[in-house]
Chains A and B, each alone.
Chain A
């Protein structure tokens, strides 16, 4: 009897495992759905079209920053300067837009410079970590201070407003649909395209086993540098969103976001040790963080307890995700 009872079990576990292997972000998706339901339970209005649009436009920057972080985590590295790059690009484009008069041309030119700045910061990180072989955690922590220093030099105090054309576009509608949904759609196309590139496969192979990748003949150092460059570029995109959302420059705006981005990557089911993960997972991870904050708010938690409950909720979600994700990993 015992035997017949135990036979079907491994098969079913095998199926769940296969599913998780193909879509490692499934636990994160379930968690996002559960959090949405919780939000609806405490405040039905929080699930309205308007409220969700607001949530998305507030957390789009974190989503992009988490995606940026994912590419370096793929290779088993980490970037603690992602938030500082975001701040630097934020103040740089704000100051440039103001200097150049705030017209449409000035905005686009400033954004192009912002992207280049993100790329340059990523390149610095890549060279320091991969080429000079410094410890990723400490080295990017150091560059984050350096980038923050630059940001403070460009704009010593928060406050310079963004041109109206910029934040009205970001917060506004296009053909009746909120602009952030176009951003989200473009982002999904972008990460789908990215996932088919050779670079992403190479990043994952390097993160899987760096020695093996080197012995196989992969250009390990250039691959890791490119990972950091990609992170810099996506951090710049995140900076555009935060600028659109806050409509002003703040040299310290991204500092707190760095570790949130790392948390989002882990919540999304990626391995911090590298070689395993998805960008979609990180997107969902960032949404999870956003939804937790919103649940905590709608639950009516007294303000002095909000941080406490947030931290606890992230821990719980992390535990649930880890328990589910552990099965999927070969």
Chain B
């Protein structure tokens, strides 16, 4: 029996299509796996079903009846429970309060029924008895728990909805083996009781172990649904990659090797810190080194740590010949290291201020300027902006008047007035349009040609393959594979990323 059916569901954020066309059918008593690369639309699809995102078009049917889901509350009322990838927990509330947060048991109409709350929590905590780890209890504050324990709370919270349809968006990313095994036992039990389950994971072995069928999403479109018993990992990856998966990256735009005679721009030896461990690599002057792998495998944490914005517990960093251990971003900037984040809102844009103020802060910092002289600055700012074909009405318009792509160009331009030696790019093209991307990468290649050492982390594999001279694939906080020369293919990149850690 069909539990849930999606027909042609789509969602766009401004100009970006997050989900082009989602078709999906989940049966009662099945674990239905969703697979797709970073940003292919899996999470958007799940959030649409759970009511956290309103779709632009398409039909949703539950038990063969068309329904409208107006929000998370309405989704719950219609029997949908969800595990959010980014978790939906209140850090200062206890485990038991979080488990029942959406439907706190009440007595006398207004008071929290603590007894019922404890009983209900105990039921779900018992499911993970002996694997939850030290310090896990019903009255512990969620904020004091380890990441894997928090993930368990989110699982319990989803289970406590007792919904006929359960969605698990990457529920196992922080769990250890024993916890995953226990979780799978629970899933099998739910399956046998006729629940429909949607499951997302990037670990091939887990998908094989628990899944019945798999639906593959590529570029916001559901491509195919297969029976997992009748298929193998290679087929699945090939479908995710698309037809041209075995074609090597375009060699013309990214030569396989860089003449290293000018020496290393950036050397990292045995670097460990929060989110990454024992990473070593070298970037030659004029080289673009790519960081690949799934989201959140330590790439951003490493780049931020090098830039002095994260923690380093061991290892060393060298720029050129001299030791470079930036204690703060200010220190890193003064010594010629640049960092551009894809999260413009948080790390880049000075919102509400004019473009000129957004282009010049680095210049001010490096030259210790005290007084703003717009006329003089204009001569320095204009070439930097023009080198990327930035479109703007005047330097004194607010930065918010620009599109996302042009904002990012302004952010990059601020590093071009005084050339840095090393440029760290942390998923710089997140949410910007295609022509801006093209301008950006043209510039990045030019900068490399001028002798900068560039590290490029991108969540889009095409960008890595098109621009990086070498690619390091991250998995679980360390480098698991280095792709060079003709090995730099989409297929290899996917395979390395999806290998069980």
Contacts and interface: CB of A to CB of B under 8 A. Distances in A.
B94 to A, nearest CB: 10
Interface string A272-285: 00011000000000
B111 A204 contact: no
B57 interface: no
B102 A218 contact: yes
A172 interface: no
A205 B90 contact: yes
Given A275-B90, A275-B92, A201 B112 contact: yes
B261 to A, nearest CB: 48
A289 B93 CA distance: 29
Given A197-B112, A215-B52, A217-B72, A209 B91 contact: yes
Interface string A193-235: 0001111011011001101111111110000000000000000
Interface in B75-98: 75-76, 82, 84, 87-93, 97
Given A21-B141, A218-B102, A330-B144, A196 B111 contact: yes
B75 A217 contact: yes
B84 A215 contact: yes
Contacts of B75: 217
Nearest to A214: B72
Contacts of B103: 217
B72 A330 contact: no
B104 A213 contact: no
A202 B101 CA distance: 8
Contact of B90 (A198, A209, A329): A209
A330 B110 contact: no
Contacts of A197: 110-112
Interface string A245-276: 00000000000000000000000000000011
A196 B76 CA distance: 25
B289 to A, nearest CB: 35
B282 to A, nearest CB: 36
A212 B90 contact: yes
Contact of B89 (A196, A212, A276, A329): A212
B142 to A, nearest CB: 8
Contacts of B413: none
A204 B92 CA distance: 8
B87 A212 contact: yes
A219 B52 CA distance: 13
Q: How large is the interface on B (under 10, 10 to 19, 20 to 34, 35 or more residues)?
A: 20 to 34
A217 B76 contact: yes
B213 interface: no
B157 interface: yes
B92 A208 contact: yes
A170 B68 CA distance: 57
B93 A201 contact: yes
B106 interface: yes
Interface in B258-299: none
B91 A275 contact: yes
Counting chain B CB atoms within 10 Å of each CB, the highest count among A201, A213, A214, A217 belongs to: A217
Given A275-B91, A330-B91, A216 B111 contact: no
Contact of B102 (A209, A216, A275): A216
A41 to B, nearest CB: 37
Nearest to B90: A208
B50 interface: yes
B383 interface: no
Contact of B73 (A21, A211, A219, A276): A219
B147 interface: no
Given A205-B101, A215-B52, A276 B92 contact: yes
Given A330-B141, A330-B144, A216 B101 contact: yes
Contacts of B87: 212
Given A217-B76, A219-B73, A212 B112 contact: no
B361 interface: no
Nearest to B82: A215
B143 interface: yes
Contacts of B143: 329-330
Nearest to A199: B110
Contacts of A276: 92
Contacts of B50: 215
Contacts of A21: 141
B486 to A, nearest CB: 45
A61 B91 CA distance: 33
B110 A216 contact: no
Contact of B88 (A198, A199, A215): A215
Contacts of B73: 217-219
B157 A216 contact: yes
A48 to B, nearest CB: 40
Given A198-B106, A217-B102, A219-B73, A212 B111 contact: no
A24 to B, nearest CB: 10
B51 to A, nearest CB: 8
Interface in A287-330: 329-330
Contact of A198 (B72, B91, B93, B110): B110
A105 B88 CA distance: 51
Nearest to A193: B111
A205 B100 CA distance: 12
Contacts of A199: 110
A211 B157 CA distance: 16
Given A208-B92, A214-B72, A330-B91, A202 B84 contact: no
A326 to B, nearest CB: 14
B93 A208 contact: yes
A10 to B, nearest CB: 13
A212 B89 CA distance: 6
Contacts of A218: 73, 101-102
Nearest to B110: A197
Nearest to A211: B88
B102 to A, nearest CB: 4
Nearest to A277: B92
B73, B75, B92, B142 interface centre (most CB from chain A within 10 Å): B92
A222 B117 CA distance: 22
A205 B72 contact: no
Contacts of B91: 208-209, 275, 330
Contacts of A212: 84, 87-90
Contacts of B93: 201, 204-205, 208
A211 B76 CA distance: 16
Interface-centre pick from B71, B88, B89, B144 (highest chain A CB count, 10 A): B88
A6 to B, nearest CB: 17
Nearest to B53: A215
Nearest to B161: A217
Interface string B56-72: 00000000000000011
A209 B87 CA distance: 11
Interface of B: 50, 52, 71-73, 75-76, 82, 84, 87-93, 97, 101-104, 106, 110-112, 114, 141-144, 157
Given A196-B114, A212-B88, A212-B89, 15 more contacts: A197-B111, A201-B93, A204-B90, A208-B92, A208-B93, A209-B91, A213-B90, A215-B72, A215-B88, A217-B72, A217-B103, A219-B73, A275-B90, A329-B92, A330-B143
> Top 10 nearest A-B pairs by Cβ distance?
A330-B143, A208-B90, A217-B102, A212-B88, A205-B90, A217-B72, A215-B88, A330-B144, A217-B76, A276-B92
7 contacts: A21-B141, A196-B112, A208-B91, A215-B50, A216-B88, A216-B102, A330-B144
